[in-house]
Chains A and B, each alone.
Chain A
Amino acid sequence: MSELKEQLKSQIIEQLNLEDLTPADIKNDSFLFGDEGLGLDSIDALEFIVLLDSFYGIKIEDPAAAREIFHSVDSMAAFIESKK
């Protein structure tokens, strides 16, 4: 699971063009969309949907329902594990 989380962090940085960040800068349990997290917005949430499909083959139909999944790296990893 921790390997998945590290992988996810790299993928997030790549997918969202967060050039100034390294995986070490992203805490597993930080709320990604808050100021203490990465300060992401609604478009970034949509990019997460692309990320889940492109890297993990998981399709999300309803972006609003998906908000919980993208809460943190922890919640994303848990969701991906649950879909295996």
Chain B
Amino acid sequence: MKIIGHSYINPKGAFLNGQNVLIATEENYLKSYFSELEIDYSKFYKMDLLSKAAFLGDYLLRNSYKDLLNVENELQFVFANASSSKETDIRFIESYEHKKNPSPSLFVYTLPNILTGELAIKHKWFGENIFYILTKFDSDFFNDQIAMSFLRGNEYCLCGWVEMTGSPEDECFMFLVAKSEVVNENLSNKLNEILNNYRNE
């Protein structure tokens, strides 16, 4: 297993492969990163926090995808978080409790795996997807998932820990892993090291 690229987004900044590439210029930091990157994708504005964050995290990684082969079939999404779609769930409840009608455009985002759907649509990737709920980021868990994915015949895993509840601790950590001949690289330790560095930026 080999990490080809990784990105990190939080309320302070956006990072790619360990380098700070953007600094938040407003409280609506996801919108500010989107504007600064000058991305042409109007669907972004309809997305909830989870999908917006994952979309941006994925966009930062775009150069890593350039040389990948047969990615539309053999790239699996493996994503997780602790709070599922909590932030959107609460807004959906508000739409029918305090406002007058349940909102369909909110309801469709009240599932955490929608973010993988948004990425699949953007790229036209038809590969396998799965979303897990963990108590916290667990590098050993991701290691197992990736191993299982490769055993099944996939070539790449795009993984993400997307914890977005509208709090200062929100973060979106994404990493792209490829099958590799190198057996002795300890993926789990490497992931922890990368994430800790990002968190301490």
A18→B105 contact, CB < 8 A: no
- Is B104's CB under 8 angstroms from A43's CB? yes
- Contact yes or no, A16 B100, CB < 8 A: no
A contacts with B, residue count (CB < 8 A):
14
Instruction: Give the residue of B100, B102, B104, B105 whose beta carbon is less than 8 angstroms from that of A17.
Output: B105
Select the stretch in A45-53, A64-72, A74-82 that faces chain B: A45-53
CB distance from B31 to the nearest CB of A (A): 7
**Which residues of A sit under 8 angstroms from B43, Cβ to Cβ?**
39
* Interface membership of A2, Cβ < 8 A: no
Nearest-neighbor residue (CB-CB) of A52 within chain B: B101
Flag if B100 contacts A20 (CB, 8 Å). Answer: no
Q: How many residues of chain B get a CB closer than 8 Å to chain A's CBs?
A: 13
* In contact, A39 and B42 (Cβ under 8 angstroms): yes
Please determine whether A46 and B104 come into contact, CB atoms closer than 8 angstroms.
yes
- In angstroms, Cα B103 to Cα A44, docked, is 10
User: In the bound complex, what is the Cα–Cα distance between A19 and B103 (angstroms)?
Assistant: 17
CB of B62 within 8 A of chain A?
Answer: no
Give the chain B neighbours of A22 by CB distance below 8 A.
none
Whether A47 contacts B105 by the Cβ 8 Å rule is yes
B46 at the interface (CB under 8 A from A): yes
Is B108 part of the binding interface, using a Cβ–Cβ cutoff of 8 Å? yes
Q: Assess whether B45 is in contact with A20, with CB atoms less than 8 Å apart.
A: yes
Nearest residue, chain B, Cβ from A20: B45
| Beta-carbon contact of B45 and A18 below 8 Å | yes
Report yes or no: B104 in contact with A19, Cβ–Cβ below 8 A. Answer: no
Rounded to whole Å, the gap between the CB of A1 and the closest CB of chain B is 25
Roughly how many angstroms separate A26 CA and B46 CA in the complex, as a whole number?
17
Within 8 A of A (CB), among B36-56: 42-43, 45-46
Interface centre among B42, B99, B102 (most CB of A within 10 A): B42
Which residues of A are at the interface with B, using a C-beta cutoff of 8 A? 16-20, 38-39, 43-44, 46-47, 50, 53-54
Knowing that A38-B42, A46-B105, A50-B101 are A-B contacts, what are 20 other residue pairs whose CB atoms are under 8 Å apart, sorted by A's residue number?
A: A16-B105, A17-B46, A17-B105, A18-B42, A18-B45, A18-B46, A19-B31, A20-B42, A39-B42, A39-B43, A43-B104, A43-B105, A43-B108, A46-B104, A47-B103, A47-B104, A50-B102, A54-B99, A54-B100, A54-B101
